[in-house]
Chain A
Amino acid sequence: MTAASPRPAGLVGALDELLGRRVSMRSLALLRILVGPVTLLHLRPFVADALAGRIYRDAFYEPYASWYPELPRPLYGTLLAVGVVAAVAMSLGLCTRVATGVTFGVVAYNLFLSTTHLHSNRAYLVIVLAALAVAPCGRELSVDAWLRERRGGPPLDPRAPAWPLWLLRFEAAVVYGASGVSKLVDPDWFGGTVTWHRVVQVRDRLDASPLPGWAVALLTDRSFHTVGAKLIVITELFIAIGLWWRATRYAAVWIAVCFHVAIEVSASVQVFSYLAIAALVIWAVPSTRDRVVAIDPANPRHRRLAGVMGPLDWLARFRVVDGPSGGPVSLTDRDGSVQTGPAAVARVLSRLPLTAWFALPTLALPAARRARRSATPGEPDPTHDGEATPGLTASGTR
């Protein structure tokens, strides 16, 4: 409990306490798994070229600095191979600390070999890998943890000082914020000229696409972009700001997924969409097993829900316990409030990464809002918000 510890003085002290507070690294462990395939996707064109006997310096490239070390051709190919192996090991959580550091090193080294290698999505990938490299994100969801358990060793504390998580959150917000502000201050962008003009430039492709005529007419209409461009800017800024507050965080995450899917289908952005969607997991509150779902084990539907939650609760947000026989599903949230029945199920699904995007809109339905307002108030969980990880004390804990 932090109440017993001395209060840090001033803003600096409060920040220091926030950054040093031990929180769950679960979201970074999950991100580590997801970023492995993203890294492989990023390295693929470099590896494909190398396998075909071509490397970056066989054609135009521009080193950032003359002193930057360049490897002999066979060693460069070997480095890429090491990067691939390290990315796989990072994702699996095998020798996680080393694998994550090596993956970061290879991707960063390769990025800075030439100005021609730099794209925003690659810069973001380097940042994410850097955060994963400095965070102890291999203590769970990893082969390392499995091997440790198999050898009978005690599990390592999955909590660590929060600063890598906060830093990565800052960087993630900067990606959206910087992009949004740059468009906001550009009259051509904010006025819709840029998007309209870009669409007009590819009008022939639109005409040849399966889009109906009215859609093509709408997309090439100037006034559509006058409004649309402002919506894009507002969306980026909303994501950048909205992610920081609980009241808006889920809306920001939901909109961010839509935003990235739209970008992915309309533009060529390399690994940006996959990386950015994966990185949204860092906005989960960094504490685990602090929501309790009570089910009736005799009820097949309840058992199905529990069966779904097991493999899909990647962020370890729930404890499933046996509830009273014949009772509805109930969810006791971090604040101690209790919801039951369909409202509880909807809320559970809205907190699982794979089902969240589909379930979140149901929470905005009037019935769900009424259920939330009338949720039985209870004792707030003193461990919420990552101050500690609650122990499994409930009887019948699954």
Chain B
Amino acid sequence: MVALVVLVQLALVVRGYRSAHKEFAFQMFPESSTWQAEIVRVTTDGDRVPITQPWAGYRWDELVTGRGLRHPELRHHADAGLDNQLAFLDAALDYVADNTPRDEETRYLEARVTTWNNTDRPEVTVLRSDDRSDTA
């Protein structure tokens, strides 16, 4: 059993170099990278409404409170790395899309994410939630 635990732990450390969340890989303080995102709700009629505005009784900063995602419009440090931060943001978009039943106008959420990998030039990535019309 000891050998098995040792092997699994070493495998998790190696996996950490490819995994977004780096579970049990102990890669601490990996980057000085920062990120900022403009997130909009894309409605069924094509409007793009910033999530900084409440909608159907929902507020982004109440739906998404952790992992530095409460105020994505502000530039933040990606404290566990950019891959980790983008994975969380991507999942958060899906969470909001799936957990706002009173919202009958949003088709999907879209985040235009600007990332600064350490001191590199900024890069822009677009993330999109699941299409809510698929589950409607």
Assess the B88–A174 pair: CB atoms within 8 A.
no
> Which of B17, B26, B34, B95 meets A201, CB within 8 Å?
B34
Asked whether B50 is an interface residue with its Cβ less than 8 Å from the other chain, the reply is: no
Q: Which of B73-128 contact A (CB under 8 A)?
A: 77, 80, 87-88, 91-92, 95-96, 118-119
Asked whether A340 is an interface residue with its Cβ less than 8 Å from the other chain, the reply is: no
Nearest-CB distance from A240 to chain B (Å)?
Answer: 10
Q: How large is the interface on A (under 10, 10 to 19, 20 to 34, 35 or more residues)?
A: 35 or more
Asked whether B54 is an interface residue with its Cβ less than 8 Å from the other chain, the reply is: no
Asked whether A171 is an interface residue with its Cβ less than 8 Å from the other chain, the reply is: yes
Assess the A194–B23 pair: CB atoms within 8 A.
no
Nearest-CB distance from A203 to chain B (Å)?
Answer: 13
Report chain A residues within 8 Å CB of B9.
170-171, 174
Nearest-CB distance from B129 to chain A (Å)?
Answer: 12
Which single residue of chain A is at the shortest CB-CB distance from B27? A182
Asked whether B71 is an interface residue with its Cβ less than 8 Å from the other chain, the reply is: no
Which single residue of chain B is at the shortest CB-CB distance from A185? B17
Assess the A120–B34 pair: CB atoms within 8 A.
no
* Cα separation A267 to B69 with both chains bound (whole Å): 19
Assess the A197–B119 pair: CB atoms within 8 A.
yes
Assess the B77–A116 pair: CB atoms within 8 A.
no
Asked whether B56 is an interface residue with its Cβ less than 8 Å from the other chain, the reply is: no
* Contacts between the two chains (Cβ within 8 Å), count: 95
Q: Which of A175-198 contact B (CB under 8 A)?
A: 175, 178-179, 182-183, 186, 188-189, 193-198
* Cα separation A163 to B10 with both chains bound (whole Å): 18
Assess the B16–A182 pair: CB atoms within 8 A.
yes
* Cα separation A186 to B117 with both chains bound (whole Å): 13
Asked whether A367 is an interface residue with its Cβ less than 8 Å from the other chain, the reply is: no
Assess the B23–A188 pair: CB atoms within 8 A.
no
Asked whether A247 is an interface residue with its Cβ less than 8 Å from the other chain, the reply is: no
Assess the B2–A59 pair: CB atoms within 8 A.
no
Report chain B residues within 8 Å CB of A195.
32
Asked whether A60 is an interface residue with its Cβ less than 8 Å from the other chain, the reply is: yes
* Cα separation A115 to B94 with both chains bound (whole Å): 14
Report chain A residues within 8 Å CB of B13.
174, 178
A197 with B95, Cβ < 8 A, contacts A60-B69, A178-B26, A182-B27 known: no
Assess the A182–B119 pair: CB atoms within 8 A.
no
Q: Which of A147-193 contact B (CB under 8 A)?
A: 163, 166-167, 170-171, 174-175, 178-179, 182-183, 186, 188-189, 193
Report chain A residues within 8 Å CB of B21.
115, 118
Which single residue of chain A is at the shortest CB-CB distance from B31? A194
* Cα separation A196 to B77 with both chains bound (whole Å): 14
Assess the B26–A60 pair: CB atoms within 8 A.
no
Assess the A193–B26 pair: CB atoms within 8 A.
no
Asked whether B134 is an interface residue with its Cβ less than 8 Å from the other chain, the reply is: no
**Binary contact track B1-33/A, C-beta < 8 Å → 1, others 0:** 010011001100100110001011111111110
Interface size of B in residues (CB-CB distance below 8 Å): 37
* Cα separation A65 to B65 with both chains bound (whole Å): 21
Asked whether A312 is an interface residue with its Cβ less than 8 Å from the other chain, the reply is: no
* Cα separation A62 to B89 with both chains bound (whole Å): 11
* Cα separation A60 to B5 with both chains bound (whole Å): 32
Report chain B residues within 8 Å CB of A62.
88, 91, 95
Report chain A residues within 8 Å CB of B67.
60, 116
Most buried by B among A59, A60, A186: A60
Nearest-CB distance from B50 to chain A (Å)?
Answer: 18
Assess the B29–A267 pair: CB atoms within 8 A.
yes
Asked whether A244 is an interface residue with its Cβ less than 8 Å from the other chain, the reply is: no
Assess the A116–B66 pair: CB atoms within 8 A.
yes
* Cα separation A127 to B23 with both chains bound (whole Å): 12
A60 with B77, Cβ < 8 A, contacts A167-B5, A174-B26, A194-B118 known: no
Which single residue of chain B is at the shortest CB-CB distance from A130? B5
Report chain B residues within 8 Å CB of A116.
66-67, 88
Assess the B26–A198 pair: CB atoms within 8 A.
no
> Which of B27, B63, B66 meets A178, CB within 8 Å?
B27
* Cα separation A284 to B88 with both chains bound (whole Å): 40
Report chain A residues within 8 Å CB of B65.
59-60
Contact sample, A vs B, 22 pairs, CB 8 Å cutoff: A60-B63, A60-B96, A115-B88, A115-B91, A116-B66, A119-B80, A120-B28, A170-B6, A174-B10, A175-B26, A178-B25, A182-B30, A183-B29, A188-B31, A188-B119, A195-B32, A196-B32, A197-B32, A197-B118, A197-B119, A198-B29, A201-B34
15 more CB-based (< 8 A) A-B contacts, given A60-B95, A123-B24? A59-B63, A60-B65, A60-B67, A116-B88, A170-B9, A174-B13, A178-B16, A179-B26, A182-B30, A188-B32, A193-B32, A194-B30, A194-B31, A195-B32, A201-B32
